[in-house]
Chain A
């Protein structure tokens, strides 16, 4: 009995050492998936408790993708629980809409030559946050959590080819939105440049 307690404490220590360093990564993905801080915090806590529960059977992959996969399941379960009220988080519908979109959407108002300018971090964050799923999670896992295509494929439960096409669409959408934001913020300058 005493040994069980000792083993339990030892496990807890190993879990803390392995999992807590990834808290910022987990929280970041939660913010992008849940879209508000309170829901994100609840999801992160639930993620860590679930991870601890399954820590005995954990044999890899690396800790970070493993935690992010659990977090993604927690978020999806939460969305499923809430039902279909929240249209923006209805993955299937978003994907259906997105499938109809052309891969390459030419920015309507801006010429192809318009060079992307440095946007401030807040604007970029906002642009990413406005992407529909599953493109949002794909680009966050890639650009922010810095995972490989293979790791993203395992987390999302899709082939690597799907990760690649989602990422291509995500970046195309992001680039359009980026250009639109650019045009909106610097309209006078752009307009004069176009007229020249």
Chain B
């Protein structure tokens, strides 16, 4: 090890990038060369001073807003600004992405709405996927029983909510059982009902998309979807059952939730 080699390798040493063998060689060199030992000490001091100093910048809030806004706009608009989409709120938004600071601030208040809607969309898609998955043989139930007093406690410790499990046999919705599922990477309670040959999955979690007091209806890949929020729970219902019959099911669940005594 000569002094020229030492001058380059000492940096790898203080950066922790040097293998043990070379590190020992460097130490041996400092024992015999006081000039190099001093350099090493001096660079160490400087490195420590630098790591203690606030050298990192914080991105200004308006830049963060600008980027979040740009990322909330459909990709093709951001990049080409071509008129792919008919004028919607989102394309109206596209104009904001390149606007002034003032309009960026306005956009920031709108961006939440758009992101939330996007999240809802994502969850609707995942709910359908989970439903389809559940229909494959052996995937429908973790606990298979028509006894609500068995299904409800089964979820204890598996999800962080006590899902409503109600007996709707009188209304000809048969309780089949319950299952732990995952939506948006979160564990959710899935309660399974059946009317005639149609399976209904009721997904319940604390946060599953936008909070909405009124039931939202939607249809993806031929499956009917309903979702709403009640008592701090987000509920999603999906089935191939006809829309009106699914609405009936939603009503029963919602009214059972309003009467906790009736639910148990």
Asked whether B68 lies within 8 Å of A53 as measured between CB atoms, the reply is no
Is B1's CB within 8 Å of the partner chain A? no
Given A6-B121, A8-B75, A115-B42, A121 contacting B67 (CB threshold 8 A): no
Of B4-12, B156-164, B165-173, B201-209, the segment with at least 4 beta carbons within 8 Å of chain A is: B4-12
Is A86's CB within 8 Å of the partner chain B? no
Is B15's CB within 8 Å of the partner chain A? yes
Asked whether A175 lies within 8 Å of B66 as measured between CB atoms, the reply is no
With a CB–CB cut-off of 8 A, which chain A residues contact B78?
Answer: 49, 52
Asked whether B11 lies within 8 Å of A144 as measured between CB atoms, the reply is no
Nearest CB on A from B19, distance (A):
12
Q: How far is the CA of A62 from the CA of B15 in the complex (A)?
A: 20
**B residues 101-155 with Cβ under 8 Å of A?**
118-119, 121-122, 124-125
Q: How far is the CA of A164 from the CA of B13 in the complex (A)?
A: 11
**B residues 28-82 with Cβ under 8 Å of A?**
35, 38-39, 42-43, 45-47, 49-60, 63-64, 66-68, 70-72, 74-75, 78-79
Nearest CB on B from A114, distance (A):
9
With a CB–CB cut-off of 8 A, which chain B residues contact A178?
Answer: 46
Tell me the nearest residue of chain B to A10, going by C-beta. B122
Is A12's CB within 8 Å of the partner chain B? yes
Main secondary structure of the interface of A (DSSP, over half): helix
Asked whether B42 lies within 8 Å of A149 as measured between CB atoms, the reply is no
Nearest CB on A from B150, distance (A):
36
Q: How far is the CA of A42 from the CA of B162 in the complex (A)?
A: 49
Q: How far is the CA of A26 from the CA of B67 in the complex (A)?
A: 12
Asked whether B38 lies within 8 Å of A112 as measured between CB atoms, the reply is yes
With a CB–CB cut-off of 8 A, which chain A residues contact B122?
Answer: 6, 9-10, 13
Is A89's CB within 8 Å of the partner chain B? no
With a CB–CB cut-off of 8 A, which chain A residues contact B121?
Answer: 5-6, 9
With a CB–CB cut-off of 8 A, which chain A residues contact B53?
Answer: 119-121, 124-125
With a CB–CB cut-off of 8 A, which chain B residues contact A13?
Answer: 118-119, 122
Is A171's CB within 8 Å of the partner chain B? yes
Tell me the nearest residue of chain A to B55, going by C-beta. A144
Q: How far is the CA of A9 from the CA of B184 in the complex (A)?
A: 13
Main secondary structure of the interface of B (DSSP, over half): helix
Interface set of A (CB-CB < 8 Å, partner B): 2-3, 5-6, 8-10, 12-13, 15-16, 20, 23-28, 31, 37, 41, 44-45, 48-49, 52-53, 103-104, 112-113, 115-116, 118-121, 124-125, 128, 140, 142-144, 148-149, 164-165, 167-168, 171-172, 174-175, 178
Asked whether B118 lies within 8 Å of A24 as measured between CB atoms, the reply is no
Nearest CB on A from B34, distance (A):
10
Nearest CB on B from A10, distance (A):
5
Is B17's CB within 8 Å of the partner chain A? yes
Tell me the nearest residue of chain B to A145, going by C-beta. B56
Given A25-B56, A112-B38, A41 contacting B71 (CB threshold 8 A): no
Q: How far is the CA of A189 from the CA of B35 in the complex (A)?
A: 24
Asked whether A31 lies within 8 Å of B220 as measured between CB atoms, the reply is no
The contact of B68 among A16, A26, A104, A118, by CB within 8 Å, is A16
The contact of A148 among B17, B54, B57, B125, by CB within 8 Å, is B17
The contact of B70 among A28, A49, A112, A143, by CB within 8 Å, is A49
Nearest CB on B from A125, distance (A):
6
With a CB–CB cut-off of 8 A, which chain B residues contact A115?
Answer: 42, 45
Asked whether A128 lies within 8 Å of B8 as measured between CB atoms, the reply is no
